[in-house]
Amino acid sequence: MRLGDARSGKLGDNITGFSRALRRAGLPLDSSKISLAIEAILLIGVERKDDLAAALRTCLVSRPEDLAVFDQLFAAFFKDPELTRQLLSQLLPKAPTAAKGLPRKSRVQEALSGKNKQNDPSKPKEDQLQWDAAMTASDRTRLQHADFQSLSASEFQLVEKLARTIAMPLPRIQSRRTRSGRKGDRIHGAQTLRLAAQYDGDAWHLPRLQRQAQPLPLLILVDISGSMERYARLLLAFLHQSSRKHPRQVFSFGTALTDLKLPFKQRDPDEMLAMASARIQDFAGGTQLGASLAELRLNHAKKLTGRRTVVLLISDGLDTGPAQTLDSELCWLKRHSRKVLWLNPLLRFDAYAPLATGASVLHRRVDGMLAIHNLSRLEELASAMTKLLQKN
């Protein structure tokens, strides 16, 4: 079969329409990938469906977790030419019934529907979206316990907004600074003399000095590698709001360490996320936690306030660096902090075991491991951290 010019035929429109559906399903696509896919199809032809699928998969899919979404969308759109025409017009009111077998992912079903919930004028605005108005009790329960990795694009946006409202009240510690009080261990000498001067040298009671309570300083390290992509944005938005009342230092790490101090100074979470995205250069890449901690030790060690800082290490533990480097840097971090807590989204699996090299080192060195894969776990995070911090 001889293909015509993609600029004058329908091939380019077909591939572009299919790519738009993939983008609605959450795949990161741009014009360069779409152009590469069109060039690949011009080279291999469309005689064999499996060759067509392999070429498009190679050009358009960059993450392993998106392979199932691609396969289901490809099977749906290239099964019926009429379905492709409906995709191009983006007027498909309802997706055809899925074939027997594995159920379609929610991201695939949403992309097939052809509806953009975010731009639908019939839907309430994000600020007006309420739980009781948007979904039933069963839907609320499902989203409350749904893994962030399994959410559709619109569900992810809703859950991200809800995560920003979750509080994280951490315990306060006694500082070295003192103030007047009734239960202190030391006598307030100046206050006692002033009181005695008022009563001809007699002091009716002895004012005390008691230590002031202050919030715990936080060091937040967020993994922004490819395996953590769906969690990183949501957790950054959650921590931006929940840790506002605590002195904090925030870094992202992948193949390098990025200081997010300036983005976290923004009051608006969307502005914070936009500024953080502009500063992070290694998003959705690999994980070099040991090297990132070494950079923290060499360039930012002064940001650890004595041994009072609580370190929140958010990662799945899939580190690709040397285990010896990670082990030594974690030992240094523990010596200079109050607690090192590992917030691990892989704890969503009941049979999870830290078998990977980086995960085993983290499990051996940290003071506690907590799950953060859904909204209910985020709500329980503060109480779980309080219990771990109270342990000696």
Least confident span in 17-21, 30-34, 99-103, 239-243: 99-103
Mean pLDDT over residues 118-140, rounded? 47
Secondary structure, 3-state, the chain: CCCCCCCCCCHHHHHHHHHHHHHHCCCCCCHHHHHHHHHHHHHHCCCCHHHHHHHHHHHHCCCHHHHHHHHHHHHHHCCCHHHHHHHHHCCCCCCCCCCCCCCCCHHHHHHHHCCCHHHCCCCCCHHHCCHHHHCCHHHHHHHHHCCHHHCCHHHHHHHHHHHCCCCCCCCEEEEEEEEEECCCCEECHHHHHHHHHHCCCCCCCCCEEEEEEEECCEEEEEECCHHHHHHHHHHHHHHHHHCCCCCEEEEEECCCEEECHHHHCCCCHHHHHHHHHHHCCCCCCCCCHHHHHHHHHHHCHHHCCCCCCEEEEECCCCCCCCHHHHHHHHHHHHHCCCEEEEEEHHHHCCCCCCCCHHHHHHHHHCCEEEECCCHHHHHHHHHHHHHHHHCC
Task: Decide if pLDDT at 384 tops 60.
Answer: yes
Mean pLDDT over residues 157-185, rounded? 79
Give the integer Cα–Cα distance in Å for 130 and 151: 18
Task: Decide if pLDDT at 96 tops 70.
Answer: no
Give the integer Cα–Cα distance in Å for 367 and 221: 15
Mean pLDDT over residues 252-280, rounded? 92
> Using one digit for the tens of pLDDT, what is the confidence trace for 344-382?
999 988 888 998 999 999 999 999 999 998 899 998 888
pLDDT range class, residue 112, cuts 50, 70, 90: low
pLDDT range class, residue 33, cuts 50, 70, 90: confident
* Domains in the chain with CATH codes: 11-115 (no CATH), 178-214 (no CATH), 216-390 (3.40.50.410)
More confident residue, 319 or 154: 319
pLDDT of residue 126: 42
pLDDT of residue 156: 83
Least confident span in 95-104, 237-246, 291-300, 351-360: 95-104
Task: Decide if pLDDT at 176 tops 90.
Answer: no
* Residues in the chain, overall count: 392
Task: Decide if pLDDT at 219 tops 60.
Answer: yes
Mean pLDDT, the chain, as a whole number?
80
Number of C-alpha atoms within 13 angstroms, CB side, residue 93?
Answer: 0
pLDDT of residue 95: 43
pLDDT of residue 145: 84
pLDDT range class, residue 2, cuts 50, 70, 90: very low
pLDDT range class, residue 124, cuts 50, 70, 90: very low
More confident residue, 9 or 3: 9
Give the integer Cα–Cα distance in Å for 386 and 316: 22
pLDDT of residue 213: 78
pLDDT range class, residue 340, cuts 50, 70, 90: very high
Task: Decide if pLDDT at 151 tops 60.
Answer: yes
- Cα 384–386–389 angle (5° rounding)? 110
The closest alpha carbon to 162, from 246, 237, 268, belongs to: 237
Mean pLDDT over residues 286-309, rounded? 90
pTM: 0.62
**Cβ atoms of 237 and 293 closer than 8 Å:** no
pLDDT of residue 113: 59
Mean pLDDT over residues 122-146, rounded? 55
- Cα 102–106–14 angle (5° rounding)? 90
Helix axes 153-163, 106-113, angle to 10 degrees: 120
Task: Decide if pLDDT at 270 tops 90.
Answer: no
pLDDT of residue 133: 38
Task: Decide if pLDDT at 86 tops 70.
Answer: no
